[in-house]
Structure 1
Amino acid sequence: MTGYASVTFAGAQSHNSAATAAPATGSFSVDVRSVNSRFLDAVLRLPDELRHLEPALRERLTRQLKRGKVELRVDTRSADPSSSPLPQAPASEVLGRLSHLESAVRGWLPQAQPLSVMDVLQLTRQPNRTPLRDDDVLACADQALAALREARAREGERLADSLRERTAGLRALVTQARPLVPQIVQRQQARFIERWHQALAQASQTEGSAATVDASQASDRALAEAAALALRIDVAEELDRLSVHLDEIDRQLAQGGDLGKRLDFLIQELHREANTLGSKSSALDSTAIAIDMKVLIEQMREQVQNIE
């Protein structure tokens, strides 16, 4: 499922009773985003100074999330450029050494450009970002993952409502198909027996009086073949299984929890029954119902791949 969460840590004063002026910890942000995926694919993007936290962060992520392509990013850059302090003026001895180096370089390379003020500031810049505490980073990561789970839960509720709408649509199609089954069977049996008798009449006329056909045996054979045809085209069992699978899907949605794999299996069963219904169909109305079922089931399949 998709989702996004972000937690910003603005920096805090370090608690150190032994120091009169305790240094402040640096600010950072933790962003977590996820997109749809059938399996969990976790990517962590951390600054070099926090690489040692990757196992702990990955363990937290895999413990709380089961599906989705998830990216967790820790950004130590300041979100507000105006909050960044101006660079400190370099010390005079540093400027002296830099001037000496520039003179030496230009002695060998007279065409070299002189140093600008920006060049001097960049070369003499001291890191002004305060250190980060591991506990602060992990705590913010926990908050971001909790917020992401809440966002994914809200999306999961919307997906569950959409799935319930489609199970209701499939139930309506099952209800629509049930009264058609005996009508289709009777119609196909009558058509089969009629064509059977027509074939017997044509055979008798073609072979003449020498080829006599026992009427009772022909009738019994026709009825047996008609019964076999009825078994082949009867889809009452498929409709019953469709109803059972739909009931189970609704039960799983009401129960909640980690449903992805169970719903995947149930959708496959729905698709199998709808395919059988379509293959056995011998009338346009039942074929149309089977097609409508497949459309709804395919929509459910796409949604189930996103739900956790």
Structure 2
Amino acid sequence: MTGYARAAGNVPGASFVCEVKSVNGRGLDIRLRLAPGMDALEGDIRQLIGKAAARGSITFNLSVDRDGAGGELVVNKQALDTVLAAIADLSTRIDASPPSLDGILGLRGVLDQHDHPLSPEAEEQLVAAILSCAGQALTQLGASRRQEGAQIATVLLGQLDAIEALVARAEVHPARSRETILARLRQQVADIAADIAIADDRLLQEALLLATKADIREELDRLTAHIASARQLIKGGGAVGRRLDFLAQEFNREANTLCSKANAVELTSIGLDLKATIDQLREQVQNIE
């Protein structure tokens, strides 16, 4: 499921922003981008995300600005030596004015800003505030995902209605009756061997055998049960994506069996429509938690 949330906070000596977004995924994939020095929070944040979501690819960003703590600029001597060596080498090849001091210091990596560390008490307060902020962002994300889930639920219920209508068509299709199968068998015998007399009892036995092989009663009953289960899961809410995914596979299995047993073009057509609608259902199920 998709969603985005952002929360911000501050404590004496620092301010911070937590951003979290999610996109569709069959499992739970967590990606963290934490501010420098905040790696110790990875386990706690992963735990918070695991409690808030069961599926989806979730990216969590944390930025921290220690603006209130002050700091100092420090020359990175190794980077400066590398720059000066490059300038000396280039000056022997290119006739140009030497670079100014402010130009050299403006090069990335030559000057580093080192923030004064917060006191242990302030660091503890900062960590607690960041985790609280992360919880707020995840709560907002959950609300966004639930809103999307409600919209998808409407689509899923509509697809279940379509599946139920197709099951009802198969239920009453005349090709399932023994009388229809017997009439078709008589016609086939007449076309193949018009001059051969076959006893009605024999034809009835063959018709009964064909009707047994083509019986889709169990498949229709199971499809009806799966429809009821899926509706119950959707209306119950919560993290039902995996269970609906399993049901969608069962739907597809029954539709395949129905197609293999179908003894008429019309029934096969209904089975293919079932498979197409079930595929649409499965695609939507991948998008929910």
**Is TM > 0.5 for Structure 1 vs Structure 2?**
yes
Picking from 84, 92, 102, the partner of 1:117 is: 102
2:210 maps to amino acid? L
How does the TM-score come out when normalised to structure 1? 0.75
Aligned-residue offset at 1:137: 1.2
Report whether the alignment pairs 1:37 with 2:22: no
Picking from 166, 176, 187, the partner of 2:169 is: 176
Query: 5 Å matches for 1:1-308?
Result: 1-9=1-9, 11-12=10-11, 24-76=12-64, 109=88, 111=91, 113-120=98-105, 126-127=113-114, 133-181=126-174, 185-196=178-189, 199=192, 201-203=194-196, 218-308=199-289
**Distance change >3 Å, CA 129–CA 46, structure 1 → 2:** farther
Aligned-residue offset at 1:199: 4.8
1:222 maps to amino acid? L
Cα offsets for 1:135-175 (capped at 9, x unmatched):
12111111111111111111111111110010111111222
Paired residues of 2:71 and 2:114 also in contact (CA < 8 A): no
2:204 maps to amino acid? L
Provide the rounded CA distance (Å) in 2 between the counterparts of 1:189 and 1:77. Answer: 83
Paired residues of 1:177 and 1:286 also in contact (CA < 8 A): yes
Paired residues of 2:153 and 2:234 also in contact (CA < 8 A): yes
List runs of 5+ in structure 2 lacking aligned partners: 93-97
Cα offsets for 1:46-105 (capped at 9, x unmatched):
122101111111111112211111111112369xxxxx99x9998xxx99xx9xx99xx7
How does the TM-score come out when normalised to structure 2? 0.80
Provide the rounded CA distance (Å) in 1 between the counterparts of 2:18 and 2:276. Answer: 41
Aligned-residue offset at 1:114: 4.4
Superposition CA RMSD, Å: 3.4
Deviates more, 1:57-66 or 1:189-198: 189-198
Provide the rounded CA distance (Å) in 1 between the counterparts of 2:50 and 2:72. Answer: 47
Provide the rounded CA distance (Å) in 2 between the counterparts of 1:42 and 1:280. Answer: 45
**Distance change >3 Å, CA 233–CA 227, structure 1 → 2:** same
**Distance change >3 Å, CA 88–CA 117, structure 1 → 2:** farther
Provide the rounded CA distance (Å) in 2 between the counterparts of 1:228 and 1:125. Answer: 86
1:49 maps to amino acid? G
Larger Rg: 1
Provide the rounded CA distance (Å) in 1 between the counterparts of 2:88 and 2:184. Answer: 103
State the aligned residue count.
268
Provide the rounded CA distance (Å) in 1 between the counterparts of 2:116 and 2:207. Answer: 87
Paired residues of 2:175 and 2:264 also in contact (CA < 8 A): no
**Distance change >3 Å, CA 66–CA 38, structure 1 → 2:** same
List runs of 5+ in structure 1 lacking aligned partners: 13-23, 79-83, 204-212
